[in-house]
């Protein structure tokens, strides 16, 4: 029975990690670029209507207006809005036998993704590092100390991140998924994270907030900030969220 470290999915994760030293000379394979759009110039076309009956539905402007925004008002966001964003990204919506189901789908209903928050400006909550307890719908207080500059530095010093009201940091408990699916499980982990982040982006838009997904970070630095055992759990994605400008 192969252990995690010997699996190709796990090795891939390690081999593609960024760190401050190797990033400078990181070899990028010489792969030629390709157009963003796949085209079938020779085929028959069926024009798609843009007059959807749903046009007035709330979801339409949310999708239309969503943008990765990197400028935020330096105002607090409401705890209620943060709670909604957490619920929208990972909240439990149903139970069946031993399974719980959430707002975002997950391969095999295994939910390998954990949510941490670096809180900077949320009404009624001290700046610090928190973990989202999905089951009890509450925040676990990990450190009541502003860690925004550490998180920003870990995210390749992308300055806008220090301006966010809260930064979501998602980690993967890889064993949760790989113990069932083996190497293929690594695919599912990243797909899960994509669903979760997209739900967050829509919920941010719905609450008048702005957000930007960020996947460029030094893996070990972010794992250290979260205080997680990187052999079992590792940061995979983040998103900065703050009050929308204007
Ligand atoms: C997987 C992923 C990683 C990203 N990482 C970063 C990042 O590190 N820094 C950043 O400023 N934006 C990042 N973005 C945002 C993209 O730059 C943005 O989605 C893209 O320019 C398209 O713009 P839009 O999101 O406004 O439609 C990331 C987006 C995705 C999906």
**pLDDT over threshold 80, residue 30:** yes
Closest Cα to residue 150, out of 225, 242, 219, 229? 225
Residue predicted with more confidence, 99 or 55? 99
Question: Rounded to an integer, what distance in angstroms lies between the CA atom of residue 204 and that of residue 84?
Answer: 9
Q: Is 158 in the pocket of ligand 1 (CB under 6 A)?
A: yes
Residue 60 lies in a domain: no
What is the Å distance from ligand 1's center to 70 Cα? 10
In a domain, 49, yes or no: no
Whether 151 is covered by a domain: the verdict is: yes
Measure the CA–CA gap between 173 and 235, rounded to whole angstroms: 9
- Residue 50 inside a domain? The answer is no
Within a domain: 167: yes
Q: Which of 163, 215, 218 to mutate to test the pocket of ligand 1 (most atoms within 8 A of CB)?
A: 215
Any domain includes 94? yes
| Whether the CB of 214 sits within 6 Å of ligand 1 | yes
Q: What distance separates the 2 farthest-apart alpha carbons in the chain? A: 60
Structural domain of 171: 4-44+73-243
Does the C-beta of 213 come closer than 6 Å to ligand 1? yes
pLDDT beyond 80 at 102: yes
Q: Residue 30: inside a domain, yes or no?
A: yes
Q: With bands split at pLDDT 50, 70 and 90, how would you rate the model's confidence at 98?
A: confident
Total structural domains in the chain?
1
For residues 49 and 75, what is the distance between their CA atoms, to the nearest angstrom? Answer: 41
Residue nearest to atom 10 of ligand 1 (CA): 214
Query: Is 66 a residue whose pLDDT tops 70?
Result: yes
Over residues 115-155, the pLDDT tens digits come to 999 999 999 999 999 999 999 999 999 999 999 999 999 99
Ligand 1 and 67: CB distance under 6 A: yes
| Contacts for 19 with CB less than 8 Å, ≥ 6 apart | 218, 219, 220, 221
Which amino acid residue places its CA nearest to atom 6 of ligand 1? 214
Interior CA angle at 187 toward 13 and 12, to 5°? 20
| Sequential DSSP letters for 132-157 | EETTTTEEEEEE-S--HHHHHHHTTT
Strand partners, 210: 242
Q: What is the pTM of this model?
A: 0.93
Report if residue 53 sits inside a domain.
no
CATH at 9: 3.40.109.10
């Amino acid at each position: 029975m192969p252990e995690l470290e010997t699996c190709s999915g796990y090795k891939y994760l390690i081999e593609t990690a960024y760190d401050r030293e190797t990033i400078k000379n990181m070899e990028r394979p010489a792969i030629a670029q390709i157009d963003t759009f796949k085209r079938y110039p020779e085929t028959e076309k069926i024009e798609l209507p843009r007059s959807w009956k749903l046009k007035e539905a709330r979801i339409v402007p949310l999708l239309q207006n969503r943008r990765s925004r990197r400028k935020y008002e330096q105002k607090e966001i409401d705890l209620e809005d943060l709670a909604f964003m957490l619920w929208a990204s990972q909240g439990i919506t149903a139970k069946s036998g031993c399974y719980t189901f959430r707002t975002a789908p997950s391969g095999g209903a295994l939910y390998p993704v954990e949510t941490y928050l670096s809180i900077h400006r949320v009404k009624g909550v001290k700046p610090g590092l928190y973990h989202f307890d999905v089951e009890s719908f509450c925040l676990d207080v990990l450190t009541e100390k502003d860690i925004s500059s550490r998180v920003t530095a870990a995210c390749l010093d992308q300055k806008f991140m220090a301006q966010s009201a809260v930064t979501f940091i998602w980690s993967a408990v890889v064993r949760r998924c790989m113990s069932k699916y083996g190497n293929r499980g690594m695919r599912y982990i990243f797909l899960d994270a994509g669903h979760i982040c997209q739900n967050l982006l829509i919920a941010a838009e719905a609450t008048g907030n702005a957000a930007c997904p960020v996947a460029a970070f030094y893996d070990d630095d972010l794992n250290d900030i979260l205080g997680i055992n990187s052999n079992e759990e590792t940061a995979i994605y983040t998103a900065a969220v703050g009050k929308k400008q204007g």
